[in-house]
Amino acid sequence: MATRLPLAICFIFGLVMFLQYFSGHPLARAAYNHILDWWQIIFAFTLLVGVAAFIKSSLRKTQVKKDAPYALIALAGLILMPLLAVIDGTDIDSPFLWAFENMLAPLQATVFSLLAFFVASASFRGFRARSVPAAILLGTALVVLVGRVPLAESISELFPKVTFWIQNYPSMAARRAILIGIGLGSMTTALRVILGIERTYLSGE
């Protein structure tokens, strides 16, 4: 029951969503629209489960002396946003959007901008032309770095032209091969999931 029922549900819904692609019948359309709706709603519940798990884990960390302050700060942040939304909604001048704009967005953007420093450091320490493929990689990266700055364009039109040629032909060809491979693999995996051969989503089956 614990395994057979989910497998049966996966099979039924997978088959319905696959077959409806080939049918314009009103019943097929209705089933399609309902399933899309249910999928959306159930997905939203996964966040609630995640929030509950986070709260549980953070409360456990508050018992550990060195982690306690950070867990409390995280919980404070978690409570703050819904509290602000309840107080004054989520419209343009609301405290909720203010907190997003002045706390969440700057924090996220700054954490991401740290990568610029690490990329520079990695470029110095790790980016070596050790072999022919590495030299090709390095050479292409240098061409792109040079070709996509306005200074290079001012010097010669050849710089951006070479960059775009590399992007539109050899680089695109390799990416296309990867896409085709992923497409074929994804189709196979989807089929295996529907048929119940692939069961990793059942947590360890």
Using CB under 8 A as the binding rule, the residues of this chain from 31 to 50 that contact other proteins are 32-50
**Does 162 interact with other proteins (rule: CB under 8 A)?**
no
Residues numbered 102-141 forming contacts with other proteins, rule: CB under 8 A: 102-117, 119-121, 123-125, 127-130, 132-134, 136-141
In the list 59, 64, 149, 197, the residue contacting other proteins (rule: CB under 8 A) is: 149
Among 28, 62, 153, 162, binds other proteins (CB under 8 A): 153
Query: Cβ–Cβ contacts within 10 Å for residue 96, how many?
Result: 19
Q: Cβ of residue 90: shortest distance to other proteins, in angstroms?
A: 7
- Count of residues that interact with other proteins, criterion CB under 8 A: 144
27 binds other proteins (CB under 8 A): no
Residues 65 to 94: which contact other proteins by CB under 8 A?
69-71, 73-82, 85, 89-92
On whether the CB atoms of residues 95 and 84 are closer than 8 A, the answer is yes
DSSP string, 67-92: THHHHHHHHHHHHHHHHHHHHH-SST
Distance of CA 199 to the CA centre of its chain: 22
- Nearer residue to other proteins within complex by CB, 64 or 141: 141
Q: What is the DSSP letter of 204?
A: -
Minimum distance from CB of 73 to other proteins (Å)? 4
Distance, CA of 64 to chain centre? 32
Alpha carbon distance 154, 107 (integer Å): 36
Q: Kindly tell me which of 63 and 91 has the beta carbon lying closer to other proteins.
A: 91
Q: In the bound complex, what is the minimum distance in angstroms from residue 64's beta carbon to other proteins?
A: 14
Q: Out of 87, 88, 156, 176, name the contact with other proteins by CB under 8 A.
A: 176
Q: SS3 helix, strand, coil % of the chain, rounded to 5?
A: 80, 0, 20
Contact 122, 112 (CB under 8 A): no
